[in-house]
Amino acid sequence: MNRLQKRAWVNLIMMAIMFVYVAIRFFVLADGLKEVESGFAGLLTYLFVAGLCVLQPLLSRKKDQVHFDERDRLINYRAILGTYTAFWLLILPAFLFPWFVLGSDDLVSVHVLRILLAAIAIILLLVYSILILVQYDWGGKDNE
């Protein structure tokens, strides 16, 4: 497995953890636990970001690295191009839909902008990781 595949797997695993947590938050936790849980939400978000920041450079270390050639660069480029396209497909409805629904004079909280940004970033990371893994056939024999 080369560094692109490793990064993609780390992204997917971290996101899976986040999604499981969100599912637990919405469907399992009782109302009495809300306060404890809201502090835990912040902690988990920081852990998620810290995990991504720490694990990505560790995976890019030179030693024990499978050779990174022209084909890998092409795969990375295609994944980025796909993510770029997905960015516009996501951001256009996300920013234009409120304008069509609420009208020009309505107000929107500044929190909404940050939430939109975070949601789009997470979805694009997911798209990028899946595109990388799909092109490598999910780490099949050809890439070993």
Query: 24 vs 41, which CB is nearer to other proteins?
Result: 41
Q: Give the span between the Cα atoms of 143 and 136, in whole angstroms.
A: 7
Residues with Cβ < 8 Å from 136, sequence gap 6 or more?
4, 5, 75, 142, 143
**Least distance to other proteins from the beta carbon of 75, Å?**
12
Query: 77 vs 138, which CB is nearer to other proteins?
Result: 77
Q: Under the rule (CB under 8 A), what is the footprint of other proteins?
A: 77, 80-81, 83-84, 87, 91-92, 95-96, 98-99, 102-111, 113-114, 116-117
**Least distance to other proteins from the beta carbon of 5, Å?**
20
Query: 46 vs 77, which CB is nearer to other proteins?
Result: 77
**Least distance to other proteins from the beta carbon of 105, Å?**
7
Nearest to 82 by CA among 118, 131, 136: 131
